[in-house]
Structure 1
Amino acid sequence: MEVYKAAKNSDSNLRKHLSSSHQISNVLYKSQINGHSKSISTTISSDRKDELHNAAINCVIEDGLPFDTFGRPGMSKFLSTAVPGYVGPNRKTVRKQIATSYSLYTKKLRALMPKLDFIALTSDLWKSSNQVHFISLTAHTFTHHYEHVSIVLGFRRVIGPHSSTLIENYIQYELDRLGIQPQQIISITTDNGSNMKKAAATLRFGNPISCMAHNLNLVVSKGLCLWSEPKQDNFPLEITLDLDEWQDIGGDLDYSTDTIEYDESSIDAAADFVSEEEDNVNNDGETDISRMINIESDGDDDIDVQFSSLVLNDKSSSSIDHYELLKTVFELMKKSRLIVKFMRNHNITNEYIKKYMLSKNNGRKTGGLILDMVIRWNSSYLLLDRLHKHKDVIHNICAFPNSIIGLTDQQMKRLNELILNEHEWELICCLKNVLEPFFDATEALSGQNYPTMALSFYVFRLLLHYFESTSKDDKITAALKQSLRYWFNIQCKAKLPAGQIEIMM
């Protein structure tokens, strides 16, 4: 007697076995009967079926599609028309094939990585929109033709606390399982998270490098108070800080190496930190980080008084109160976000803007309004740039909402509250202009097909040159540059790991 093993909570396979092996067809479910008839009438060869399955699974991987994409009703109808007789892979088949591909990829890495002479690492830890944390580890190297190559070493879901010790053990776990030796590792680049920095500071993974594009984002966010209200206790700024050390770098460099000892328990510790078995997580949702803020309506006179202390148009003023200026910037950014949200979330205003811009640009489509995010580099610059390009239509909507058919009395009142006066538009223009060099710098430092370490030194020297006030700068622009330069000194010099500037050179 042959013993047949079936799934604990399902008898589908047993029914299929009885039908195919014992010709007892009356036990099949209706869906199995339909599937059985389709399989009998198929004209797809086994080789062709494998080819189509591989193409479908690669499509799921490259496009990040759900595992059951090719088993859904609409896709099944399409496949029956496009490739008669072919039934796409189900969820279990996709999952199994991905696991097999991952295993083969790991074997290739184990054979390849020990042969590489030098490796630079990057690691990042982040949270998805549905509050699931992930960590990644990537290796960067060159071919014999000096072509840059990036290799993903690990990408896992994080479980448990995100302490520096566990991050350190996770990185070591990935290196050990792939046979990467300490003498191969040159450096590791991370963001400015305290846990990531502390893990890298142990020097077990080469020289710690702070991500320069991330540093620039911090300079902009803190230097202009785009997201956090300034605290009066932090002012006045110490503008006279010595920043010339960037120009005096040289002298004796310390190239000494530290003896690295490996923790034999790193694999066990890492097992408590990461999940080897990945769950199916839906990341289609979006997180709206911007908060809706209720602001009181300010009359033009009140706003003029507020801005008069900043001497926006008075070229003869000798100084500006940085605290008052940045407080105004913070409030203006909140108001700008509310304007963008209102225009985008109401179909009437959204369509009005599209038609207006098409007419203004002779039928050419232009980019719409953008809402920034605190974790999205350059998004505040793009918000201000698009808002400034839409100045005329935004002013018309807010100043004369009764001319737009379909708006309620409450919506028209809200638009009147959100109107930007000329002083605020001038400040938006100043902010956009001082942020533009950071946009260009971040774009240059975010290249994927060329090394950016040496480039970062020249980019930062150019930014330092930009911070110098010129005769063309009005007092507001000069003050904004001073604040940015102050935070540039903190984030891009004082807080850099020891030796990073020399490495950049």
Structure 2
Amino acid sequence: MADVTSDDDDSDSVSEAVEGDNSTNDQDVDESSDQNLIIDNWSNDVETKINPIEELILIMNLLKKCRTIATVIKKSSVVAAFVRKEQLILKIKTMIHIDCKTRCNSTFLLIDGIVECKQLLMKLFNEKRSLNLRLEQVNKLTTIELNNEDWDFLSSLQFVLKPFYFATVMMSGKNYPSIGLAFHAVHKLKHFCTKDRPFEEQIKQLKKLLLAKLYHYFYDDVEQNEHLQVSS
């Protein structure tokens, strides 16, 4: 698979737009990251039945693993201590927190945290039997261990979701965004999703899934799209 750790040009464009507000946004991210588990009543109404296509099944199964990893770190004092120790040794500042299923940015932060902590998590999986863990905890870690394909898929998810994360931060109500800025961000996201790279079939499929939703909520409504263009 091609290297997906570097941002696309459109991702850079969106991230540069929020660079000036880094101090405020970092504070917002830190505040949201401090919440280990968000209880959101709206999640009761979220559609959970999805078309059983391969990419969506892989995403759902992988997110289950990531959420279980975050839960184990939160609930096990032994695992949490191991993670903190390795973070200090490796100088990793990124934290792994449970996401809120109805908040896409929190899911991106979960994925981003898992990817950034790859080295220490691999060490945790390799050394789990040497830690002072109960057998059931060891078995749990075994079932959620990430293989090479999982890591590649997570890196792809991190890559395609990063521009959406920056766009959402940029259009946050705290930053008093204009309609013109919102239209510009949506247009950039559309361009990002339609721009393909060779030898990146997995990323291409993920972009198609995102593009379908982008059209559904913004471009298929012709009247709404025209209003956005006029107002911008």
TM-score by length of 1: 0.35
Alpha-carbon displacement from aligned partner over 1:165-206 (angstroms, at most 9, x marks no partner):
xxxxxxxxxxxxxxxxxxxxxxxxxxxxxxxxxxxxxxxxxx
Distance, in Å, in 1 between the alignment partners of 2:205 and 2:72 is: 31
Higher relative contact order (CA 8 A, sep 6+): 2
> Matched residue of 1:400: which SS?
helix
The 3 A distance-change label for structure 1 pair 229 and 130 is closer
Shift of 1:473: 5.6
Alpha-carbon displacement from aligned partner over 1:324-364 (angstroms, at most 9, x marks no partner):
12111111111111111111211110011001110111xxx
Letter in 2 for 1:330: M
Letter in 1 for 2:78: I
1:231 aligned to which of 33, 51, 55: 51
1:335 match: 65
Structure 1 or 2: larger helix share?
2
The 3 A distance-change label for structure 1 pair 415 and 487 is same
Where structure 1 has 5 or more consecutive residues not aligned to the other structure, the ranges are: 1-127, 134-220, 222-226, 233-322
Contact 1:456 1:504 in 2 (8 A): no
1:407 match: 133
Highest Rg: 1 or 2?
Answer: 1
2:23 match: none
The 3 A distance-change label for structure 1 pair 433 and 412 is same
The 3 A distance-change label for structure 1 pair 504 and 347 is farther
Distance, in Å, in 1 between the alignment partners of 2:121 and 2:133 is: 15
Distance, in Å, in 2 between the alignment partners of 1:491 and 1:401 is: 45
1:376 match: 103
Distance, in Å, in 1 between the alignment partners of 2:49 and 2:89 is: 39
Shift of 1:367: 3.0
1:469 aligned to which of 184, 190, 195: 195
Structure 1 or 2: larger strand share?
1
> Matched residue of 1:378: which SS?
helix
1:13 match: none
Letter in 2 for 1:386: G
1:491 pairs with 2:217:
yes
Shift of 1:475: 0.4
> Matched residue of 1:370: which SS?
coil
2:148 match: 422
Contact 2:96 2:113 in 1 (8 A): yes
1:348 aligned to which of 71, 78, 83: 78
Contact 2:94 2:117 in 1 (8 A): no
Distance, in Å, in 2 between the alignment partners of 1:228 and 1:429 is: 24
Identity, % of aligned pairs?
Answer: 23
1:210 match: none
Distance, in Å, in 1 between the alignment partners of 2:162 and 2:231 is: 23
The 3 A distance-change label for structure 1 pair 395 and 468 is same
Alpha-carbon displacement from aligned partner over 1:80-107 (angstroms, at most 9, x marks no partner):
xxxxxxxxxxxxxxxxxxxxxxxxxxxx
Aligned residue pair count: 191
Letter in 2 for 1:375: T
Alpha-carbon displacement from aligned partner over 1:268-287 (angstroms, at most 9, x marks no partner):
xxxxxxxxxxxxxxxxxxxx
1:439 aligned to which of 137, 141, 165: 165
Write the mapping of 1:141-156 to structure 2, written as runs, cut at 5 A: none
Distance, in Å, in 2 between the alignment partners of 1:496 and 1:129 is: 35
Distance, in Å, in 1 between the alignment partners of 2:158 and 2:40 is: 32
1:367 pairs with 2:84:
no
Write the mapping of 1:111-130 to structure 2, written as runs, cut at 5 A: none
The 3 A distance-change label for structure 1 pair 358 and 335 is same
Distance, in Å, in 2 between the alignment partners of 1:395 and 1:476 is: 23
Write the mapping of 1:102-117 to structure 2, written as runs, cut at 5 A: none
The 3 A distance-change label for structure 1 pair 462 and 393 is same
1:326 pairs with 2:56:
yes
